[in-house]
Amino acid sequence: MANCDPALLVVGELVVDYTLSRNGEMCKLRLGGICHAARGLWAANIEYSVAAFCPRYLVDEAESYLFDFGCKEFIWLGDVIGAPNVILIGDVTEVSHQGYEDLMRDTKIVKFQDPLPQLDAYQKVVVFPGKFDMNTLFSVFAEDAQFSIDIAYDVEDLSSLKAFIGRIEAIIISTSSSLFMRLGAENIEELLDEINTLSPDVFLLKENRGGSRLFDMQDGGVEEIPAKLSQTANSVGVGDVYSSVMVGLSYKGWVEAAWRGSQAATVYSQTTFPDDMKRDVQRGFRLSVEVLQALGGTVLPWHDRQTYSIYLAGPDFTYVSKQELDHALDSLTYHNFKVRRPILENGELKRPASEADLQQTYHLDYKLLKECDVVFSVPLDRDPGTLVELGMAIEMGKPVVTYDPRRENENTMVISGSSVYSKDLDACLNGTFEVISALRAKSR
C-alpha cells in the first residue's frame, strides 16, 4: 500500500448547476455536485482531493477550477454518457420543492474508467452517492480506509451499502432526501434502526431550517445543533458543505465537527461569492465551540413540527385567485408543518350564505383559531376576514406570521402586531421556524 495521504478524499459526481431566472433575477451557472463540498473545504482550510465522475467535456475545466480552490489531486473516476450532467434549479431558496431537473436523466449512464484508478493512498473518504455502483467504488480503496456517506439521492435501500459495514464513520441524511421520506419521515426510531444495521460511529440528520441532530450510534447520545436563520441567497449545495466540513474536522471530535460544519453551511447559504464565503467562515471559526453553543439558534426537529398547529388565515376560497397563498401552503407542507385550513375543515360558505350558516362557520373557525398555536396569515386583497382573524390571534397572544406578497397591508397594527411581517416568503418561513422553535423551547 502507498503511504497514506492525510487529505480528505471527496468522491461523487460533478455536475453543472443552472439556476432559472425568477422575479427578474439573472440566471446563474456554476459547477455543482461535489464541487460544493470542495468550495466548503477550501473555505474551512481543510486539505482535500477529489475523485469525480463527470462527462469528458467537464474534466479539464473542473480540474483547473478545483486546483484554484486548493484541491491537491483530481482523479477522473469515470465518464457520464447519455446525459450532459446539467441540473436545472427552479428555487434556490428551498422555501418548498426546489424543482430540480436532471437533464436526460433516464438515458444517463456512469461508466468507470478502465483500468480503475486506485485510491488506496486515501484513508479518510466522504462519498456522495450518484449513478455509480458503490460496490465497484469500494474495491479501489485500501482495507483500512474509513468512509462517511452522505445519502441525498440515488440510494433507495441501505442494503446497497453493506460492503462498507465496519468501515463507516458517519452516515448523513437530509430530510429532503427520498430515502428519509421513505424510512424516517414518520418515525425517527425506525430510521435509527435501519442506520444501525450499517454500524456507523455517528448519524447526522440535517433538518433544513430546523437545525440538525447528531446521533452517537455507540452511546445513544444526541446533540441538537441549531440553525442560524437569515436571508437565503442560495441553498443548493449547503448540505454538502455541512457534511464535508464535518468529516474533515472529525479529528476534533464529532460534536465540535458538526457545529463547525453547520457554521460553514450557514455561510454558504448566504452568498455565492467564494472569497466572501471564506472570509466569513474563517471569522466564524474564531469563536470557541462553547461560545457558539451559547449563542443558540433555531431548533425545530422534523418530527416535532407536527406537534404544533398552524392556522392558515387567508382567502382560501375556490373562487379566488390565490397563487401566493397556495405557494405558502406548499412551503409549510414541504417542511412538515401541521397546517389547519378552516375553509377546508369547516366548509366553504355558499354565496349568498344564510344567517345560520354564517353563525355556525364563525363559531367553528373561532374554535379552530383558539386551538392552534400559531397563525400564518396571507391577507390577499385586504381580505377582511383574514384581518379580523389576525387581530383575534394577536389579542389571544398567539404568534402571527403575516405574509403580504402584494404589500397591501402595510398598516401599523398589522406590521407591529405580527411576530413577523414580510412580502418575502423566505423571511416568513424563517419566522415560522423561529416562533415555533421558541414555543418548543418554552415547553421543555
Q: Which amino acid is at 311?
A: Y
CB 247 within 8 A of CB 266: no
Average pLDDT on 196-201 reads 96
Using a 10 angstrom Cβ sphere, with 0-12 exposed, 13-18 middle and 19 or more buried, the burial of residue 129 is buried
Residues 45-71: pLDDT tens digits? 999 999 999 999 999 999 999 999 999
Burial 234-272 (b: 16+ CB within 10 A, else e): bbbbbbbbbbbbbbbbbeeebbbbbbbbbbbbbbbbbeb
- Reply yes or no on whether the pLDDT at 355 is more than 50: yes
Residues 289-342: pLDDT tens digits? 999 999 999 999 999 999 999 999 999 998 888 999 999 999 999 999 999 999
Question: For a pLDDT cut of 90, what percent of the chain falls above it?
Answer: 82
Place of cell 464565503: 277
CB 47 within 8 A of CB 72: yes
The pTM (predicted TM-score) of the whole model is 0.93
Give the model's pLDDT for residue 1.
42
Mean pLDDT of the chain: 93
- Reply yes or no on whether the pLDDT at 22 is more than 70: no
- Reply yes or no on whether the pLDDT at 97 is more than 80: no
Q: What are the distances in angstroms from CA 256 to CA 25, 159, 260?
A: 37, 30, 6
CB 236 within 8 A of CB 32: yes
Residues 381-401: pLDDT tens digits? 999 999 999 999 999 999 999
Residues 406-438: pLDDT tens digits? 999 999 999 999 999 999 999 999 999 999 999
For residue 230, what pLDDT band results from cuts at 50, 70 and 90?
confident
What are the residues whose beta carbons fall under 8 Å from the beta carbon of 89, sequence distance 6 or more? 17, 18, 19, 20, 98, 99, 100, 236
Domains of the chain: 8-299 (3.40.1190.20), 304-443 (3.40.50.450)
Write the DSSP symbol of residue 90: S
- Reply yes or no on whether the pLDDT at 99 is more than 70: no
- Give the residue among 332, 89, 333, 303 at the shortest CA–CA distance from 205: 303
CB 393 within 8 A of CB 375: yes
Tell me the range of 86-90, 269-273, 399-403 where mean pLDDT is highest. Answer: 399-403
- Give the residue among 296, 299, 332 at the shortest CA–CA distance from 314: 332
- Give the residue among 314, 272, 293, 248 at the shortest CA–CA distance from 31: 272
Residue 117 grid cell = 484508478
- Give the residue among 224, 181, 167, 146 at the shortest CA–CA distance from 440: 224
CB 310 within 8 A of CB 363: no
38's enclosing H/E stretch is helix 34-43
Euclidean distance between CA atoms 125 and 117, whole angstroms: 15
